[in-house]
Every structure is written in C-alpha cells, then in structure tokens.
Structure 1
Amino acid sequence: MRKVLAILLPLLLLLTACGGAPGGSSEPTVGRSAGAAEVFDSFSVSGGSDDEAPTVEFDSPLDITATAAKAVVDGEGDEIQAGQQVRFKLLGLDANDGEVLGDTYANEAQVLVVDDQLQTELPDLYDVLVGTHVGAQVAYTEPAPEAPEGSESTDPLPSQILLLRIVSVEDQPEPLPEPEILPQEDVQRLDDDGQLPTFTFDDDGAPEVSIPDTEPSEDLVVKVLEEGDGDVLTEEDTISANYSGWTYSSGEQFDSSYERGEPSSFPLTGVITGWTNGLAGQKVGSKVLLVIPAPWAYGDPAPGGRPSGTLVFYVDIVSKDTGQ
C-alpha cells in the first residue's frame, strides 16, 4: 500500500539476491563527486547492462566516516537537470567485504525525482546526479546507523554501498488533479443496480470479493459498509487497519493484512491518493469499500510489478495513532 519512497537506503529491503555479471572491464573515470568521495577511489566496475548487475571490486573494508557520492563510471547519454526524474537500477554491497546484498536489475527501473526533497535529504547524491549523464554508475554511501535501541549488540550496523545505474531521464509528469469522489446518491444507485463489489467473509473474518461484470466508475467510490463510533480521520493521521485489495478487472487479490495475521500501520500521507482521500473523514471502527481508478492507485500500466488499473479494497479502520 505504501508509495515507493524517494529515499534510497530503504530500497535495500526490497532487493532480491543476484550475483554479479561478467563482462569487459570499465575502469572508473573522473566523474562528478560530493562529500568524502575519495572512499570510492579504488572502485572498479565491470560488465553489467540494463538487465544484469555489474561486478564491482574495491579495496575492502572501506572506512566510511562521512556521506559520499561519486559517478564511478560516466554516462554518455542526456544530461540530468534539476527537477527532472531519473529511472535507475540498484545494486547493494556490503562495504566491509564487497558482498552483494541484492539488486533490482530483474525488475523495472525505479523512479527517483531529482528535486528539492532529494537535495534536502540526500544532498551529496543530488549534487552528483545534477549534471551527470544517462548511463552513469553512481555510488552512494553514508556512515552505518547505530544498532536499534534494545538490541543485544551495541555495535553499529554494517555500512552499505548503493550503486545506481542511470537508465534514463525525463521531465516530471504534470501532477494529477485531486480525485473526484462519487456522490453518495450515485454510490447508492450503483449499489442498488448491483454494480458495486460485494464481500463475504471466511471463518477467520478475512474478506472475499465478488466484482460485477461492469465498467467501474471513473470517480473514486467510497461506501461505508459499517460505520464506527471512533475519532474522525484526517489526511494527516497515522492509522492501523486490516485490509485486502484486488484488481477490478480480474478479481485477483494482490495484498491482504489478514494473511499476515495483524493490522498494518501507515500514515495517510504515505499511501496511494485513493486511500488518502477515501479514508479521510471516516471514523475509527468503520468498514469501508474503496473502488479506486488507476490514476489515483498505481497507474495503468503500473510500474515495478504493482497492480494495474482500477483497484478494489476492503478496509477495516482499527485505530488512530495518537502519538502517545
């Protein structure tokens, strides 16, 4: 349910194990750099393509004491301008021994917007990307975080290196308008005509959906199946909810907290627009049907293996995070 974050380090959680690819040598050139970029002086990148991760060699272990970014291989394509977005493939490495932690080369290229947010949160990476060319391989690292509070070990976590292969650059698309929410009288009319999804529940309370063989509304459909008596949600709230989601066209389930056995917690500012707009104004304890057109879900086609087209959700709003 969460939007793809524009911050790189959490992407390592999504990497799938994959070895390096053999090929001809590509010695690092003197590319753009920022921060303590001398840490990458021993980097050598060989092989690889848009579909296969390269092999990386360096003098290990690397002593990473400050944030660093460098184009260890220069590109020859279009120059990246501030405000554009790049598509990239990612390779993760352990800075201590060079072990490959994973990569995203088997998946579609992910999008990173080179904007003010990136400049604020990862300034060295921003400085390197602006002015670099498509095809570049950009290395990024920062000091390892401390061990989580309560951990048995007080040693810092291993340092990681992220190597981004810049696949393409493009201007950002125009922002979408806010979704129109279908008026409740029209929702009721669709319901009376049997043109809305309906739910049944198994012995464990998990929903199963029946989707009518009709075209979905072009507007966001919000139907309260059971109204709660708790606090009214705002778009800024963090909530806990049980939910299941299906594609409207096929009825295939693509996500469910019920299968994980516990509600999921997330901020309404960090989910797809259809959730943000559809759940704001609802009460804690409510059970809600959402039918979300593609522009306010993940798109059609959707990138990165996400579900495409109009989506259907059953949402049981369990609680609101009070911050206490």
Structure 2
Amino acid sequence: MRARRLATLSIAAAAALLLAGCTAAGNGTASGAPSPSGSPTDLCAAAAPSGATSDAVKVDGAAGAEATLTFTSPLDVTTTERTVISQGQGDPVQDGQFVSYAITAYNAQTGEKLGAVGYNPGEILPAAVSTTTASAQIFGCIAPGGRVVLTSPGTNGNPGEVDVFDLLAVVPTAATGAAQPPVDGMPTVTLDDTGKPTITIPSGAAAPTDVKIADLKTGDGAVVAPGDKVLVQYTGVLWPDGTEFDSSWTRGTPASFQTTGVVPGFQQALEGQKVGSQVLVVIPPAFGYGDTAQGSIPAGSTLVFVIDILGTQHAAAQ
C-alpha cells in the first residue's frame, strides 16, 4: 500500500488531520502551526481514553518496528479509544513540539493488515503535537519510544481501523548537523541560542549572477529528493542591505512545502541535501522572482536564505 493512502486512512480514523497546517507558497510565506504554549498535563488530559475495544487488541513486536496485531474481527468500534502499550523514555512530548512517528494499520472489520508507514526515513513528515488537533489524542502523555493502540470508528466511507502509533522521536526545530567551515565571499551567518540565524551581507560585494550554495551544517538524515515535501526553518533577507523579508523563526514555527512549490534557487538549495543540514543560498533574480515584485520583495531582488532542513517526505510516499 502506498504510504499516502495509509497515512490518510489512519489520520481520518483518528478523526482529524494529524499533521499540523504548515504550508508555504512560492513566495515563502507560511501559515502557522501550534506554538509551544501548553504543558504535558494539557496533552495528558487531551489523550483518548482507554476502553474495552482498544484493550482487546494484542500487540506483538518491539516499539519502533512494524507491529503484529491480534483481535477478534469484526471489531465493533463506536468511539476512539487508546491503550498505551509502552510509555517511552524521558519527558513526555509537549504541546507544540514536532515528532517523528510510524503507523501499523489494520482494518477493524476484516482484521486485514492495511500496511505500515514511517518506519523508514522519508516516509512521513514530522507532525506538530497540539491539544487542538487529534495528535494529542494519540501522543498525549507519552514519551519518545512510546507505543499506543488506537481504535477508531470509520469515517467518510472508510471502515473502522485498529492502528499502532509509535512515537519515534521529538524533532529538533533547528538543524543539528556537523558545522562546516565558512565559504569565502558568501554572507556570514551567526546563530542565537535557539538556532535563529542573523545574516550579514559582505560589504560592497557585487551580487552573484548564479545561484551560490554553501553548507553550514551537514546532517545525516534522509536525502531530500525532487518533489519531496519538506519541513524547514528559514530566514530570507535582501542583498545588499540584509533586510529581512520572511522568516519562519519570526513566525515561531517551521514551515512545510514541496520542493517544486518554491522559486528555482530555493529548490536547488533543498534537493540533494540531508535532513539535519543547514544551507546558505544566494539567489539572483533569474532564479527567484525576476523583475516581478513580491510583497516586500522589490522587483529584481537578489535573495539570501538560511534554511534548516528538519524533515522530508519523499514524493513517492505522498
């Protein structure tokens, strides 16, 4: 089963979209996802309750790998229930954090295994956990390494499902790769304690006429392929004065979009990079917006971005 169909079925069965609404158009703007404002207690209260239906499911296998489920079918699922199989290790996930996760899904009526997704890098984009979405029903009050069974009634013509969700890790909101030496002639970048960049343009330097890319940090995660959907932090400024025109850091949450949904220079900076990397890119007008003004970006502008790559979902899995 294709990962997109599996994820869609499982999220629908959980009664809401699990992935928070972070999108970005070609102009780099993004809609906000939940920001860290709650507490583990809030998520505990929002977690789906256990019940006789979810408790009746037997789960074999270790958390972090595909599960084998045993239950008597058809399973009569009338409400969403959650049974915690493993609490995980360390602090429970907090409201607003992003997590990587995996799903093993079964049809509640037939007992058929629908498939598994997220156990391999690049299959699912990290999700924001929030008390305002179904993600809290699933992941509330558990820690990385945790595993839960979720039984969900059918919606939109889909049969009820029995799903195992594994909370694999809390995803950092800044690149964590190995630092690389600066490249001569490129803008300089300094980071504050949160990882937010400040970009300084070389004084008196002429803007390049080709796209220039420098690796600031090199990650070791999945490689971003053409057409992938990515989760990123980024800041964009104008050459030569360094005026900021857009920043996910300023909005307080990462953004997600497909690599084919941004200007060509930004796309070049993403594709071929590994998750965990931080990339500096200078984009001349021909690879940006050309002679067309875009909001606060004047026509003919050279753009400079620092991009932290936090996650990727391969196009084949969408």
* TM exceeding 0.5: no
* Bigger RCO (CA 8 Å, 6+ sep): 2
TM-score, normalization by structure 1:
0.40
TM-score, normalization by structure 2:
0.41
Structure (1 or 2) with the larger CA radius of gyration: 1
